[in-house]
Every structure is written in C-alpha cells, then in structure tokens.
Amino acid sequence: MIGNFPQIDKLFVFPVIITGIIGLLFFLLALFTLSKKRILKCWLLGVSSLGFLFTSLIISLIGVNLDTYQRLTKEELIASIQFWQSGSQQFLAVLTQSDAGDGQSYLLNGDEWQIDARILKWKPTAIVAGLDSRYRLERLSGRYRNIDQERYDQRSIFDLSSEPGLELWPVLIKLQNHLDWIDTYYGNSVYLPMADQAIYQIVLTQSGILSRLGNEQARRTVANW
C-alpha cells in the first residue's frame, strides 16, 4: 500500500497560483523597466515580485504541511464485519475485505470477535514521502468472556491469509535492521462484542488497525459491554 507523494491541499491551490502569477508578472515588469533604465521603478517591482513569490511559497508549504498531517492521521477502511446470532453464544459473521469485494461467512462461537493482523509501520519521514503502513489480516476468531469457557469450550478460529501469494514478510523483517525508514514490524489485534445485526468497521491507521462502530446496534452493544 504505497501512497502518493504529499501534495498541496486543494484549499490552497488557488491562492498559490494567483500569488505566483502576480509575482511573475511583477518580475517581468521589473525586467522591462530595467531595460528602460528606470532603476527605482525596477527595484520596487523587483521587491514586489519577491514578496508575492515568497507568499506563494509560504502558502504552498502550509498546504503541503496540511496534506502531510492528513496522511499521518488518516484512516483507511480495510474491512467490515456483520453478525447474525444463530444460537446461544454462536454467531454467523460475514467479513468483507475492501480489496476482495465479496464477503466471506464464518461461524463464530463465544461472546466476542477478534481479528489479528501483521503490521509494517514506517517512520514519519517515510510516511511524509508517500509510504503508508502495510498490513495482512491473519486470523478471525471467537472469544468467550468467561475465562473457563475460553479454556474448555469449543473455539472457532479461521485463517484469513491461507493464500498470501509471494511471501514478503521474512524479507521485510530482514530489511528492518538495515533500512532507516522502516520503523517496526509487529502483530496487532482488535476485539469487540458480538451481537445480532451489529456491524463493525476495521480501519488501518499509520500505527496499526482499529475498529469503528458501524451501526446503532454495535454502539448499544459496546455501551453495555
């Protein structure tokens, strides 16, 4: 998941263009008056040109800084999961991954759901340069709130990366010790309660995955968790 290089925020594009054009016009006028040997007028136009060009540069930097902040704080929806209760402590879960399209169904036992992922995190300088955190969803499982049930009752665990394709993770682990722009590589999990018709969204941030409440049923469930 490699993003684009930082750009100027759209809000700042027009002011940058206008001040830049005015600065160039003053510069051309300064050259014209210089050819006419009007030194004082040339100096005034030159100073004005530098002022507008400098203003254009400052606005550009502010726009890029805002885009950088948005990149550092952005969230990307990578999956959603919805539940239907099919029995006592048993739920049908439909997981839809953003890069897959179609949802996959899983029967989970327990009171809570959990998703495990691997995360490769870049250092801020690399994020600013256009690199976004990389991830791979590993497992979906059900959890019992009661510890004794978690130890002895039937568990439900499903592999979400049975066909990972080209295995890059061992290479990335080795590169971590040699490339300064790789920050860390680690496992990340999120878990929340299951409930009939509850929907959750799994999002990727620059520091890992987290879950957002997708509907009112999910919000009520978590409020009573």
Backbone angles phi, psi at 168, to 5 degrees: -95, -15
Q: Is the pLDDT of residue 190 over 50?
A: yes
Q: Which residue has the higher pLDDT, 10 or 53?
A: 53
Q: Which residue has the higher pLDDT, 133 or 175?
A: 133
Q: Report the distance separating Cα 52 and Cα 61, nearest Å.
A: 14
Q: For the purposes of burial, counting CB atoms within 10 Å of the CB of 70, is it exposed (0-12), middle (13-18) or buried (19 or more)?
A: exposed
CB 110 within 8 A of CB 142: yes
Backbone angles phi, psi at 106, to 5 degrees: -140, 140
Q: Is the pLDDT of residue 90 over 50?
A: yes
- Min mean pLDDT across 68-72, 126-130, 139-143 is at 68-72
Predicted local distance difference test score (pLDDT) of residue 186: 75
Tally Cβ neighbours within 10 Å of residue 29: 17
| Average pLDDT of the segment spanning 197-202 | 96
Tally Cβ neighbours within 10 Å of residue 20: 17
Banded pLDDT at 2 (limits 50, 70, 90): very low
pLDDT in tens, 38-85: 888 888 888 888 888 888 887 776 655 545 445 555 778 889 999 999
pLDDT in tens, 150-163: 999 999 999 997 65
Report domain extents, the chain. Answer: 10-72, 75-223
Residue type, 119: I
DSSP 197: T
Q: Report the distance separating Cα 81 and Cα 217, nearest Å.
A: 13
Which alpha helices (DSSP H) does 76-184 contain, by range? 124-128, 147-152, 169-176
- Min mean pLDDT across 75-84, 87-96, 160-169 is at 160-169
Return the structure tokens found at 164. Answer: 């990972």
